[in-house]
Structure 1
């Protein structure tokens, strides 16, 4: 039975979601989990007509990196890999050739985004060919293919040791997983994480068949910044008076283990609870994962996850995600019993300032504080 306090919390949470929908986000799916229960909320639509339901799945973007990091730490625990191992020790030179600072980058530096390697995601040509005017929506990218965009002197990355967020780091980690296990990275993620946790709505798009669940239509904020930086793929029709483009025909294969996973809000909370509670990694691995250093103005970086604070003093651990057509957030309270996942079917990449998204719901509202109150009720 829902108590008066819980009902009040749920009403406040629904109001936050409806505010985001009013700002132009097509749809949202949220799950809050604690030992006291699970609460699911949805708002908006998938395709302009069908309401978002708890069974809808979304691209989760860089939340995928947390899964990749877990597999890396499991391989370390098995003695098959070390944090000090370098790219050139594990991978063949054909993988990292002509990529500045890649050869000597260590596993620890890749995990923590301190390797000093350019991100293929920031390359101007890739932005147009991967998400914009030159995109072929039907193309399934080869796992090494994105690295071709940075086989040149680096442009944006700082010196090794300084923090710089780069998808390249996790592409290389995924290739390490495959070299060490002689299996695909997606198969290792499934065997080690998805199957043990019964995550039936989660898969790597482009490399695995879709699982159960309805895949939400994907939209992208078509701001002037996005039009100038990426351009509009001719296959993508406009939506909502041109404020959005419908990029449902695209796929996330280019992101692979750096950001290509599709999941549901409920599956993500399962994963976060298991990771938090030590069911996936040893306490030693979790200690390393949560060794922090400054990253952005509002967050610190560990080895695979971030730490940020809510509008009070509470610290939360997790990751945001953003890809073409989707944004997501997965966070759990550092000291407390609360996990929250927020997924939306609108992308913000290369769009500059936008009205709202899954990340905005976390950053711009007090949803974390209300979720904590609900979880403690």
Structure 2
């Protein structure tokens, strides 16, 4: 699993078990994934954690579990960088339709925007943006370093940021990686959002709605723009104060600074449904789906809006995480989309790689069978 730089997680503000199991494992030699939820709460210091998994064809086996209080399967929350998978799917659809080519340069679509301070948009392709191999620095990290006072519930509404301003912020920074090498940067997907607008004449949010949300009936998913509140029912989000350790309610924030890199609002139900449809071939034809999952440009770390994680049992799962003020979410799915898991904690504290990996292993790795060689 690649180390993904967080998007607007604080201090950057741009930051008993309930429910039953529909498909319990027949031989629970591995702890079921739901057994990790109390650990996400206790070890991660989150008020609540929840997961939702689906197995088999659409409408098949479903498991929902939660720990703590405050997250329902259809509660709305901020999904952060999971937005990138939706943007990548739209770009690949446009490529299939002939509206753009992945070898087009940024300069072809956004003349003059990526220029100066050693940057040259004519040398950066859309493929490089999709795979995080552009060499462009991360504007989100820059904002955090420049203004660490933007924390808690006041920062987001105090400093909304346009896409153009985000890119210009990045262009003022020194390169953090050579062009062609993998370096996760939110700037790449903000640029892709602008490219979608240039090609279609509509904002990326409108294209995501028309091409993905409406056809898949993802009624709990939205691109809020400047709307600071979440639709009902909603799950609250919290940030732990670095000063005294108290939990600050940061549910209502202005997500415009995240933009195409991470503004999306969604639900556990919708994210499971989306990744099942995407990997199941309902959104992209085979050639484009193969591109989505091609990690060669990023040396195995990242495809286009998704990344692979190989588990100890040999299974590789695909998906993305989202880390934004008040929320951490992770979706993972098998290559065919027939087994999908989404889990979320309602703080911006990451659960940690080991705990997250253990949860995924419990969900996707088949139980060991006695007497089996």
TM-score bin, normalised by smaller chain: 0.7 to 0.9
**Number of residues of Structure 1 aligned to a counterpart in Structure 2:** 341
State which of 7, 10, 13 in structure 1 corresponds to 2:33: 13
Match of 1:288 in 2: 291
TM-score, with structure 1 as normaliser: 0.81
Secondary structure of the residue aligned to 2:76 is strand
For residues 1-377 of structure 1, what are the structure 2 equivalents within 5 Å?
A: 5=25, 12-23=32-43, 24-35=45-56, 36-45=60-69, 51-93=70-112, 95-98=113-116, 100-104=118-122, 105-123=124-142, 128=147, 131-132=150-151, 135-152=155-172, 154-207=173-226, 213-223=232-242, 242=245, 244-293=247-296, 300-334=301-335, 337-348=338-349, 356=351, 361-363=355-357, 365-371=358-364, 373=366
Structure 2 gaps, min length 5: 1-20, 368-373
Q: 2: distance between equivalents of 1:64 and 1:243? A: 29
What is the RMSD computed on CA atoms of the aligned residues? 3.0
- Residue pair 2:49, 2:66 contacting (<8 A) in 1 also: yes
Which of 320-329 and 331-340 deviates more? 331-340
Secondary structure of the residue aligned to 2:163 is coil
- Residue pair 2:78, 2:324 contacting (<8 A) in 1 also: yes
Q: 1:64 to 1:100 in 2, by over 3 A?
A: farther
TM-score, with structure 2 as normaliser: 0.82
Q: 2: distance between equivalents of 1:321 and 1:146? A: 19
Per the TM alignment, residue 247 of structure 1 is displaced from its structure 2 partner at its CA by 2.2
Q: 2: distance between equivalents of 1:137 and 1:171? A: 19
Which of 269-278 and 1-10 deviates more? 1-10
Per the TM alignment, residue 263 of structure 1 is displaced from its structure 2 partner at its CA by 0.6
Structure 1 gaps, min length 5: 46-50, 228-240, 349-353
Secondary structure of the residue aligned to 1:270 is helix
Q: 1:251-299 CA distances to partner (integer Å, 9 max, x unpaired)?
A: 3221111011111111001100111111100100011111113859xx6
Match of 1:236 in 2: none
Q: 1:271 to 1:160 in 2, by over 3 A?
A: same
Per the TM alignment, residue 369 of structure 1 is displaced from its structure 2 partner at its CA by 3.4
- Residue pair 2:90, 2:208 contacting (<8 A) in 1 also: yes
Q: 1: distance between equivalents of 2:228 and 2:144? A: 29
